[in-house]
A = this chain, B = another copy of it.
């Protein structure tokens, strides 16, 4: 279905060539200052036509808030919003319509529904992500105001061009000797995660915050474009100041929710949190994150190979993860394939297509991350507030309870 979230919930609608695409965001806390521009900023980062690297279509993507706010403040009721489609007519027939595009959704939509939109892509159109980005912008604004949460995503690779040590490959030496953790994530990369800002990211047209790598990525994308081909890449995202205790222990672990969210973005095929696949090669004695008391009196971990999540629950450290986007399926280069009825032939997509989507994917990754955290914050607050209204626990062994501190911390008058 087209709904994401439990207490903070977004539902979207819209195809490429219908009247509009839009969303209903339900469960937004009341009293949040919110105007259209809060949403527009992220929408504009998402839209095509921002540089000569992306598709030259210039979509305006102006958002219209329909409900849920008055005088610039949220009411707690559902926020309806929509962005009009510039081209609202069903697509004209074309000979290319006889072909399901290889690795695209044309064929599977027809298998699923027995009918598909004239544009082929229909609901799988990248325009579908507008609703996500809009909802995520609202969630992000709340999280920033209430908890100081910072969410920054950036491009960590395009094809084989990688940000240094973002996830350096296995040395695959002839020996089976252990890696160290530093083989998985370099100290420079760990430092970048701690400090990178959205401004640094947007300063590069590839949204890779490392100028030299960005330039190589640019060349790689141009090469794909000139060859009427396409290329994939990865996006890394870091979240700072996320409260501890988020995520549900069994089926809804925080990494499971984040993985679900990221793998729901079009063209994604891979997800890893913390040290990820490379961390599986490091023995426990080197991979474990030991505890220490911080200067501010809070416990923390000395390292953070876990990526801020242990046992499926956030521990207050930075959360970071990486998402893999395959090379776009629609290319202008001729491909030997078959028509719907099996007739062999050659398909070359008409028009201009995005040779690489990862720069535009950055705000979408941020949005989906914000949606996951926002929903989990609400769920955990429900539990924490409920527990705070009970009498203090006095009968348990001291190693089982949080030093009797929880009730005091969150104590509030009964509702």
Contact = CB atoms under 8 A, between A and B. Distances in A.
A230 B12 contact: no
A269 B299 CA distance: 23
A64 B301 CA distance: 40
Copies of this chain, complex-wide, total: 4
Contact of A229 (B75, B113, B285, B333): B285
B411 A412 contact: yes
A334 to B, nearest CB: 9
By size class, the interface of chain A is 35 or more
Interface in A371-387: 377-387
A110 interface: yes
Interface stretch (A14-22, A53-61, A204-212): A14-22
B18 A68 contact: yes
B290 A243 contact: no
Contacts of A45: none
Contacts of A386: 29, 142, 146, 377-378, 381
Contacts of A115: 30-31, 73, 75-76, 393, 396, 400-402, 406
Contacts of A30: 113-115, 383, 387
A307 B177 CA distance: 31
Nearest to A1: B26
Contacts of A377: 386, 415
Interface string A208-236: 00000000100110001001011111100
Contacts of A187: none
Contacts of A411: 412
A146 B67 contact: no
A3 B8 CA distance: 12
A313 interface: yes
A95 to B, nearest CB: 10
A1 B415 contact: no
A83 to B, nearest CB: 11
B274 A272 contact: no
20 contacts: A6-B6, A13-B78, A13-B80, A14-B66, A14-B78, A31-B114, A66-B82, A103-B287, A105-B312, A114-B401, A124-B312, A159-B280, A227-B285, A232-B280, A234-B277, A263-B271, A293-B344, A341-B403, A381-B385, A410-B415
A70 B90 contact: yes
Contacts of A98: 399
A182 interface: no
Contacts of A250: 2, 12, 123, 128, 264
A299 B15 CA distance: 26
Given A24-B24, A269-B276, A299-B338, 4 more contacts: A105-B310, A147-B389, A259-B263, A291-B337
A73 B411 CA distance: 19
B260 A256 contact: yes
